[in-house]
Amino acid sequence: MLLDYRLAFEYSKVDAEKGDPAAQYKLGVMYGLGLGVAQDYAEALRWYQRAARAGDARSQSNLGFMYGTGRGVPQDYIQAYAWYNVASASGEDSARYNREAVAGRMSPAQIEKAQKLSAEIFDQINQGRT
């Protein structure tokens, strides 16, 4: 089974480096879980960010998880909320629930700041598509 993950990693890496968001998401998962490659949260974050900015809702949601739990990054509920908000709008069903869970730990001012941040992220994503 390990060999299968290594092969999957190699194939995904080729496509990810060419800009394929689905392959970038796969690399994020593989680095985050240590499948076929040594676990490396910094690399997981890097690949999720690339895919998320290309509009991949799963990567957007996983960024929310990383920021919400402090997995590989300093815990930041504003970033977590913003990424969950973007993922929810992009069609990731679980992101709405996760956004509300994070919001329960935030002040109204933090939520307002997170909503502004998510609007900025939306703008960046939409600018990249034009």
H, E, C per residue of 113-127: HHHHHHHHHHHHHHH
What pTM was estimated for this model as a whole?
Answer: 0.93
- Characterize 43-64 residue by residue with b for buried, 16 or more Cβ atoms within 10 angstroms of its Cβ, and e for exposed: bbbbbbbbbbbbebbbbbbbbb
Cα 35 → chain centroid:
17
63 is written with which tokens? Answer: 């960024």
pLDDT > 90? residue 1: no
pLDDT value at position 128? 75
Q: What is the DSSP letter of 71?
A: S
What percent of the chain is modeled with pLDDT above 90?
Answer: 91
Q: What is the CA radius of gyration of the chain?
A: 15
Domain spans of the chain, in order of start: 1-54, 64-130
CA angle 79, 81, 85 (to 5 degrees): 115
- Summarize pLDDT for 52-105 with one digit per residue, the tens: 999 999 999 999 999 999 999 999 999 999 999 999 999 999 999 999 999 999
